[in-house]
């Protein structure tokens, strides 16, 4: 029996391993312009020019085999053949960044010293060239003692030559390699510097611009101000740009509802479609434009190289609460969704840092909260402007995000003094080059995001809404009784209501909290469906959810509901991932309890102070 030959892509973080992996295997691994993107081993199939199939493994980036963080540990185990159920890969493809060569050659030497068939992919030569840096691959190859192939992973350049070199790799004569196995780290650094010196053909001044950019963006106080301003613009844009589109989608939903009502006879099915599917699921789908705008900003920041700088800036601020800039990227991913955010904590070496980050990740405002926030802000906060180009609604949204961040930092501060006591660990992160975000990657990223959102709407949100609609519709009300009072859902809501009455929640809001455990957006769908069922038979009060809320909720009640959603751990999947990543129920339980407690307390404080202020 012949086993499939395997080759592993290894190298420093952000060298372009996953981009190369995608180019060679046709896969679609996430690539982004900051270190620590890949945190698991991923494999795919490619065929060498000789016709031989090879299993190619993409690994997390690593600075050394003396693994520090869990993702680097994966790399170490796979490379050394210690990964459970997997043989040691025959061929190593060391990916180095031509524009950061000196730093990348340190780990490359460690790989070559293992004495295995090895090929070096001199990647990102386009960026090096753009910077005016030309490297001689042959000189580098002589210095390293292994073949060096220039590549541009994202343009699929140099792939054939790389495949040829991989084909020939098993026949390499290891004995001609310089014996570098015994070198210490400082010696490797020195050797790397000399090798780069010897291999540079020419170097020019294009890098100057980037140095200048960094002087501003990494400046002790200009840097944080820029970051803050950027985030501010992002939240303004979420409202200002999306509003016309949201209005258009709402219009389509109303048309559809009208059409179904006209075309179908009065029936169970018709009510299910108009009240459950169109009112419920539709009320969530209208937020697609906002989700896309938010992610366009985040993806551009990731791809341009700015995000790593933001982490660098945040490092100092985060040190105050006992975290490092390492936690910044997992926390930032949590703005999309806490699940990838919690997964991304695998790149944090210190276990206590990591645990703290996992516990506070749900406080970052995930995109599922956006529909809840926007619908309520749209309903109760007037669309006035409070300054040139500054809308009040965008400001409130920014405030809610900020409240989540401040809450997370406060919790981190407490945790680091109690449950996860320990010294804050240091932070090393290389800063990627600036680049114009490749449009194609942007488009793919946005498409994937939109798809995730729509799939949630079509599956989990749809299912939760239909179940809720059934519970709202049965048992049927007697004449004179309200449908909500008579229904099973109404009984559940009435049962819970005493607990939520004191913090200003109305019964349908309390009810919305139950299905929202499946996914937060369902709170919106649930309110829309409840109002649609209630309005049934009444003189046509057909209006979008925003209008319903504006008519029914007082300002203190609406603000309390917003405050609740800043903190409430309303997402079963996040709890499940926290369990998996912490190997037990203890920490997820701590998380759920503290988050519910905060949600209740802050919703209550908000409600009572708003009432006291006469709002």
Ligand X SMILES: Nc1nc2c(ncn2[C@@H]2O[C@H](COP(=O)(O)OP(=O)(O)OP(=O)(O)O)[C@@H](O)[C@H]2O)c(=O)[nH]1
Residues that bind ligand X (CB under 6 A): 13-19, 31-33, 35-38, 60-61, 123-124, 126-127, 152-154, 303, 435, 441
471 in helix, strand or coil?
helix
Q: How far is the CB of 125 from ligand X (least distance, A)?
A: 7
Place of tokens 């709890």: 575
Nearer to ligand X, 14 or 574 (CB): 14
Nearer to ligand X, 60 or 407 (CB): 60
Q: How far is the CB of 9 from ligand X (least distance, A)?
A: 8
Per the CB < 8 A criterion, the answer to whether 383 and 390 are in contact is no
154 in helix, strand or coil?
helix
Place of tokens 């057909």: 542
Reply yes or no: is the peptide bond before residue 340 cis, omega within 30 of 0: no
Place of tokens 């009810």: 511
Q: How far is the CB of 161 from Mg ion (least distance, A)?
A: 22
Rounded Cα distance, 125 and 136, in Å? 11
Dmax (CA) of the chain: 94
Dig out the tokens for 548 from the structure.
């319903």
Give residue number: closest CB to ligand X.
61
Question: Closest Cα to residue 334, out of 283, 382, 294?
Answer: 294
Q: How far is the CB of 45 from ligand X (least distance, A)?
A: 18
Q: For residues 30-59, which are near Mg ion according to CB under 5 A?
A: 37-38
Nearer to ligand X, 165 or 284 (CB): 165
Nearer to ligand X, 125 or 323 (CB): 125
Q: How far is the CB of 201 from ligand X (least distance, A)?
A: 18
Residue 591's binding partner out of ligand X, Mg ion, none, with CB under 5 to 8 Å set by partner kind: none
Reply yes or no: is the peptide bond before residue 475 cis, omega within 30 of 0: yes
Residue 100's binding partner out of ligand X, Mg ion, none, with CB under 5 to 8 Å set by partner kind: none
CA 332 to chain centre: 7
72 in helix, strand or coil?
helix
Q: How far is the CB of 412 from ligand X (least distance, A)?
A: 24
Rounded Cα distance, 328 and 331, in Å? 5
**How many other C-beta atoms lie within 10 A of the C-beta of residue 581?**
19
Residue 25's binding partner out of Mg ion, ligand X, none, with CB under 5 to 8 Å set by partner kind: none
Pairing of strands 53-58, 42-47: antiparallel
Q: How far is the CB of 428 from ligand X (least distance, A)?
A: 14
Nearer to ligand X, 250 or 302 (CB): 302
Nearer to ligand X, 32 or 366 (CB): 32
Nearer to ligand X, 146 or 308 (CB): 308
Q: How far is the CB of 38 from Mg ion (least distance, A)?
A: 3
Residue 153's binding partner out of Mg ion, ligand X, none, with CB under 5 to 8 Å set by partner kind: ligand X
Nearer to ligand X, 431 or 603 (CB): 431
Residue 16's binding partner out of Mg ion, ligand X, none, with CB under 5 to 8 Å set by partner kind: ligand X
Residue 14's binding partner out of ligand X, Mg ion, none, with CB under 5 to 8 Å set by partner kind: ligand X
At residue 242, φ and ψ (nearest 5 deg) are -85, -20
Dig out the tokens for 307 from the structure.
């995000």
Residues of the shown chain interacting with Mg ion in the complex, contacts defined by CB under 5 A: 17-18, 37-38
């Amino acid at each position: 029996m012949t086993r499939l030959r395997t080759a592993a892509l290894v190298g420093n973080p952000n060298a372009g391993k996953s981009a190369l992996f995608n180019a060679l295997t046709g896969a679609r691994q996430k690539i982004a312009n900051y270190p620590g993107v890949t945190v698991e081993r991923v494999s795919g199939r490619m065929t060498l020019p000789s016709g031989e199939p090879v299993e190619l493994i993409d690994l997390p980036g690593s600075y050394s085999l003396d693994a520090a963080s869990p993702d680097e540990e994966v790399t170490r185990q796979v490379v050394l053949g210690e990964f459970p159920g997997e043989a040691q890969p025959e061929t190593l493809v060391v990916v180095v960044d031509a524009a950061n060569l000196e730093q990348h050659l340190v780990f490359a030497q460690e790989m070559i010293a293992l004495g295995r068939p090895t090929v070096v992919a001199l990647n990102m030569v386009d960026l090096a060239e753009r910077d005016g840096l030309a490297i001689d691959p042959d000189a580098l190859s002589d210095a390293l003692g292994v073949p060096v192939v220039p590549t541009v992973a994202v343009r699929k350049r140099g792939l054939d030559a790389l495949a040829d070199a991989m084909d020939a790799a098993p026949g390499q004569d290891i004995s001609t390699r310089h014996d570098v196995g015994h070198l210490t780290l400082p010696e490797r650094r020195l050797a790397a510097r000399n090798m780069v010196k010897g291999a540079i053909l020419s170097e020019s001044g294009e890098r100057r611009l980037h140095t200048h950019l960094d002087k501003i963006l990494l400046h002790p106080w200009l840097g944080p101000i820029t970051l803050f301003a950027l985030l501010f613009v992002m939240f303004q844009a979420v409202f200002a740009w999306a509003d016309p589109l949201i209005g258009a989608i709402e219009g389509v939903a109303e048309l559809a509802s009208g059409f179904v009502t006209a075309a179908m006879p009065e029936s169970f099915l018709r009510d299910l479609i108009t009240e459950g599917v169109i009112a419920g699921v539709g009320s969530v789908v209208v937020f697609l434009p906002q989700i896309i705008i938010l992610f366009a900003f985040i993806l551009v920041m990731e791809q341009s190289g700015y995000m790593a700088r933001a982490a660098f800036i945040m490092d100092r601020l985060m040190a105050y609460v006992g975290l490092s800039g390492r936690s910044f990227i997992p926390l930032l991913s949590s703005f999309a969704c806490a699940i990838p955010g919690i997964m991304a904590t695998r790149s944090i070496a210190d276990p206590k840092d990591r645990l703290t980050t996992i516990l506070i990740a749900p406080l970052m405002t995930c995109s599922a909260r956006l529909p809840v926030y926007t619908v309520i802000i749209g309903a109760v906060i007037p669309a006035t402007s409070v300054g040139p180009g500054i809308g009040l609604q965008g400001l409130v949204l920014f405030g809610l995000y900020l409240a989540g961040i401040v809450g997370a930092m406060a919790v981190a501060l407490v945790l680091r003094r109690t449950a996860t006591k320990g010294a804050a660990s240091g932070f090393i992160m290389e800063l990627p080059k600036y680049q114009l975000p490749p449009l194609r990657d942007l488009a793919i990223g946005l498409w994937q995001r939109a798809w995730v959102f729509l799939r949630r709407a079509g599956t989990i949100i749809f299912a939760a809404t239909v179940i809720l609609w059934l519970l709202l519709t049965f048992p049927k009300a007697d004449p004179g009784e309200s449908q909500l009072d008579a229904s099973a859902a109404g009984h559940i809501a009435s049962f819970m209501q005493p607990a939520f009455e004191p913090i200003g929640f109305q019964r349908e809001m309390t009810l919305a909290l139950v299905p929202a455990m499946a996914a937060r957006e369902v709170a919106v769908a649930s309110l829309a469906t409840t109002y649609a069922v209630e309005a049934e038979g009444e003189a046509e009060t057909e209006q979008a959810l925003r209008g319903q809320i504006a008519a029914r909720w007082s300002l203190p009640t609406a603000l309390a509901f917003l405050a609740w959603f800043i903190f409430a751990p309303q997402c079963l999947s996040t709890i499940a991932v926290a369990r998996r990543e912490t190997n037990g129920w203890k920490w997820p339980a701590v998380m759920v309890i503290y988050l519910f407690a905060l949600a209740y307390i802050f919703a209550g404080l908000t409600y009572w102070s708003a009432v006291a202020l006469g709002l």
